[in-house]
């Protein structure tokens, strides 16, 4: 990076047009490939088989119904937890069995703000909750996990904390898929319309998609949550169509394809220009060139971290509205 900066022959007398030209050159050399690279749908990966090929989520699901290292026998005091969002593909608690299936009379919608997982308070993301629907027509598909009685208290405390942003516990009947066994009573977490983070008043798919497109939080980019859920539903329930989920995925992918490269380019050039301007306001000494190179390397490192796209996207969009 230092060699590139030295080769630009920077001067403290450079005007704004010259700085913009230098910033564009740095962008082309170091950042253009990052900004132009696609952000593919997150793929679920399981252990490789004997041929070195990755199994699908469904194959992993069927092959390993429990995540316990030691066998625990079922008991009448066990409980079942139904997951219809991130728990479909990522259960961060111990379970002794899991099954695919559905609950009746509800619709899954991205109508809940996420300020602690896929967004932050200043820029909330969107995650799913359930809305009451037609008992005979509407189904929400997901995964039920059996929690051993000895681990029940630990798991429920963990989930109560994890779902603290507006979610409440309910008990519903779960129907296994594709089997026709007797329903199982499950515990489910639902964000009600009365909670502070409910976002169903903005229900239009393009608006929700744009929020997902530009949001990220401690658990990662919001789009990752959306794409993971979409892929999991495709693999676990191949003959089921979730129109709301599918429309959101299509809309976010269009934003990524049509807007993201240009927005990232403008945002990165602005960042580079700011670095050049800050240091050249002092002088163009060798020491200042080293400082510029260090700041540019720090920016490049930042662009390797999860959520960097969303951070720059929201900055650029905010600049355009000022």
Cα–Cα dist 219/230, whole Å: 17
Report the catalytic residues. Answer: 163
CA Rg value for the chain: 24
Helices marked H in the chain? 2-7, 16-26, 32-36, 57-63, 152-162, 205-213, 222-236, 243-258, 260-280, 286-302, 308-321
Contacts of residue 185, defined as CB under 8 A and 6 or more positions apart, other chains included, come to 80, 171, 172, 173, 174
Q: What count of other Cβ atoms lies within 10 Å of the Cβ of residue 277?
A: 13
Cα–Cα dist 227/40, whole Å: 9
Both structure tokens of 202: 């903005």
Phi and psi for 12 in degrees, rounded to 5?
-65, -10
């Amino acid at each position: 990076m230092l060699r590139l900066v030295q080769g630009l022959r920077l001067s403290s007398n450079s005007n704004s047009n010259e700085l913009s030209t230098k910033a564009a050159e740095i962008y082309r050399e170091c950042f253009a490939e990052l900004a132009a690279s696609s952000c593919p749908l997150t793929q679920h990966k399981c252990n490789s088989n004997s041929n070195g090929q990755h199994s699908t989520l469904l194959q992993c699901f069927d092959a390993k119904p429990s995540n316990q290292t030691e066998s625990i026998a079922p008991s009448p005091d066990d409980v079942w937890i139904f997951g219809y969002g991130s728990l479909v593909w990522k259960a961060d608690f111990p379970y002794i069995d899991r099954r695919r299936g559905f609950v009746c009379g509800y619709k899954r919608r991205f109508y809940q703000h996420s300020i602690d997982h896929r967004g932050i308070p200043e820029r909330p993301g969107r995650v799913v909750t359930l809305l009451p629907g037609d008992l005979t027509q509407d189904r929400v598909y997901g995964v039920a996990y059996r929690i051993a009685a000895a681990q029940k208290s630990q798991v429920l405390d963990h989930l109560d904390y994890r779902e603290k942003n507006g979610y409440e516990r309910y008990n519903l009947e779960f129907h296994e898929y594709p089997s026709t066994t007797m329903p199982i009573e499950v515990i489910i977490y639902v964000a009600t319309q009365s909670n502070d983070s409910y976002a169903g008043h903005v229900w239009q798919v393009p608006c929700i998609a744009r929020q997902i497109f530009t949001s990220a939080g401690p658990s990662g980019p919001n789009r990752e949550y959306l794409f993971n859920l979409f892929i999991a539903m495709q693999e676990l329930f191949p003959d089921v169509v979730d129109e709301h989920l599918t429309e959101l995925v299509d809309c976010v992918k269009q934003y990524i394809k049509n807007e993201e490269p240009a927005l990232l380019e403008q945002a990165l050039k602005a960042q580079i220009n700011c670095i050049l301007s800050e240091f050249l306001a002092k002088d163009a000494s060798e020491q200042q060139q080293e400082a510029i190179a260090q700041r540019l390397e720090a920016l490049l490192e930042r662009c390797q971290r999860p959520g960097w796209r969303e951070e720059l996207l929201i900055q650029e969009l905010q600049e355009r509205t000022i």
